[in-house]
Amino acid sequence: QVQLVESGGGLVQAGGSLRLSCAASGRTFSSSTMGWFRQAPGKEREFVATISASGLTTVYADSVKGRFTISRDNAKNTVYLQMNSLEAEDTAVYYCAAGGPLYKHTKAEADYWGQGTQVTVSS
C-alpha cells in the first residue's frame, strides 16, 4: 500500500512557474514508477508525466514537453513536477500516482492515487 500527498498547487499568472511535490509513504516508493496526471473541469483525467523507479526514464505528454520536468528523490520518498511557462490550459487538479508500468501511466492508469492539488493559471 502506498499513500500519496500532493502539495504546491496554487494560483499563478500565465508564463509563471510552480513546483508540485508528492510525498509518498510506504516501503515500495523506491521501486515504484511515479506519475503526474491532471483533470480539468468537464474533462477526463489525462497523463502529464511519468518517471521510472530509478529516475532514468521519463515520459511526457506532448502538451507539456519542454515546459514541465518530473523528478524524484528516493531518499525523501518524494516526486516533483516543475512546471514552467504555464498556460491557462494547464489549469486543472493535478494528481500524483504510483505503481504500474510506464506505458499504463500514459493511459492515465496507475495503482495508487493521491487526492490532488489545484493549479489555476490566470491569463
Angstrom distances, CA of residue 8 to CA of 12, 80, 96, 107: 11, 10, 12, 24
Query: 26 falls in which pLDDT band (50, 70, 90)?
Result: confident
pLDDT tens per residue across span 60-89: 999 999 999 999 999 999 999 999 999 999
Task: Indicate if the pLDDT at residue 1 is higher than 80.
Answer: no
- pLDDT confidence of residue 27: 75
User: Per DSSP, what are the bridge partners of residue 38?
Assistant: 46, 94
Query: Which of the two residues, 73 and 31, has the higher pLDDT score?
Result: 73
Radius of gyration (C-alpha) of the chain in whole angstroms: 13
Tell me: pLDDT of 29 over 90: no
CA distance 85 to 65: 11
